[in-house]
Amino acid sequence: MLLRHTPKEIIERSALTINPAKTCQPIGAMYAALGVHRCLPHSHGSQGCCAYHRSALTRHYADPIMASTSSFTEGASVFGGQANLLESINNVFALYDPEIIAVNTTCLSEVIGDDITQILNKAAAENKIPHGKSVMYASTPSFKGSHVTGYENMLSAIVQNFAKSSGKRHNKITILPSFVEPSDMSEIKYIAEELGAAYIMYPDTSDVVNGPLDGKFRMYPKGGTPKALIEESGDSEYAIALGQTGTLSAAKLLDSKFKVKTKIIDLPIGISATDAFVDTLRKIAGVSVPEQLVRERGQLVDVLCDKNQYIYGKKVSLSGDPDILIGLTQFCKDAGMKILHVLSGTPSGGKFVKRIKEIAGGDVIVKEGAQADLFYFHQLIKNDKPDLILGNTYCKYIARDMDIPLIRTGFPIYDRVGHSYFPITGYRGGLHLLIKMLDAFMDRQDRDAPEEQFELVM
């Protein structure tokens, strides 16, 4: 394998990224748009760009992802994509009848400098947008940021275009989740419902990209947050944003436009972060924590205590998306593990680095941005080998080369199933994650145990 030629000596690189630990903005924007009911993502660029974005999401979720494209040719690439987008809007509404078209830009349309606002105004003036339908857009150039940045930009566009204020507050709490699996979005809703809190959550990809196979094709699955509910979010008294990198700008927009009191907390991964989410919801909604959640928390604590000897002191290296990594780092820290390395390809202006150091201590090696790539991650692991790697499918090459167990987390996961259906958030998700970690350590112990220590009972 070529990875065996990765040198241990680390040389700082400022202009070269090798095996990036991220993918491009339009993928995140497309995913966020799918979390709105009857919303069709639209890629303003070439067919190849849209095909890649759809392919990446389809491979990760093993579910067909619907999206349309402006289909740039050489002419549009030179003279601009206005004519293509106008014709696309007309055709998409006529053929596919979405309630909303969510336009995301690509490198090509961004470099050309297409004025999307002007184009959409022209589409409205020419009656290409049917009555009661909507077209919104987010600027998502692939040459900056990451898929998490694109998700954040589309989420902000959803707030900007659809949230409204009637001047009369209601008791529904708006919940804004970062880029997480549909299973995690279901778990977040489950916690809110168990608490008895009235809520509005968007985007919500549960029952959209992880729906059942029942023999019927649905262009728009039953899931996704209806536009009417998003409109109500401007009247919320409070909003809870889960994960700063993926939700910060949308949360700020709710605050600045509608004076919604906003609290930004970490994704509820593990005991302490889930405790914080439950406590925040409890206080805002004025409810008591139900016995069911107390029971689930106790089960997670019970397994952690029963099998702590397999977890405590183990060294772990993590790579992935910032909001998920913060939760996973807190989870590993709570379990008594030693965090060696934490890398995210998504830039956050240093906030991610600061937060990880707050959780894991000053000895952890943490890096973000373009140079926080998998080549550098491999070098760090060669210099200080962990007992476990947490990361996406691309980390499997490093795990194989270094003979280290890998637990797949984050995006993308192309070579395993289950992430769409089993969460890592909440107490139940924490228990699922903990069992996967224990399985990895115990499987490794069985594999390496001498004959006389190969036991039935661990």
Peptide bond into 203 cis (omega under 30): yes
Q: Any idea which residue has 């977040």 for tokens? A: 188
Residue for token pair 């968007």 = 202
Give the pair of three-digit tokens for residue 120.
Answer: 């959409």
Question: No. of H helices and E strands in the chain?
Answer: 18, 13
109: left (phi over 0), alpha (psi -120 to 50) or beta: alpha
CA atoms of 360 and 364, how far apart (whole Å): 6
Active site annotation includes 107? yes
> Of the candidates 233, 121, 116, which has an alpha carbon nearest to the alpha carbon of residue 173?
233
Half-sphere exposure of 178 (CA within 13 A, CB side): 28
Catalytic choice (103, 107, 260, 278): 107
CA distance 414 to 396: 11
Q: Is 342 a catalytic residue?
A: no
Pairing relationship of beta strands 68-69 and 365-368 according to DSSP bridges: unpaired
Length of the chain in residues, anyone? 458
Q: First-to-last CA distance in the chain?
A: 35
The residues facing 236 across adjacent strands are 170
User: In the numeric block, which tokens belong to residue 101?
Assistant: 């078209």
Positions annotated as catalytic residues are 107, 111
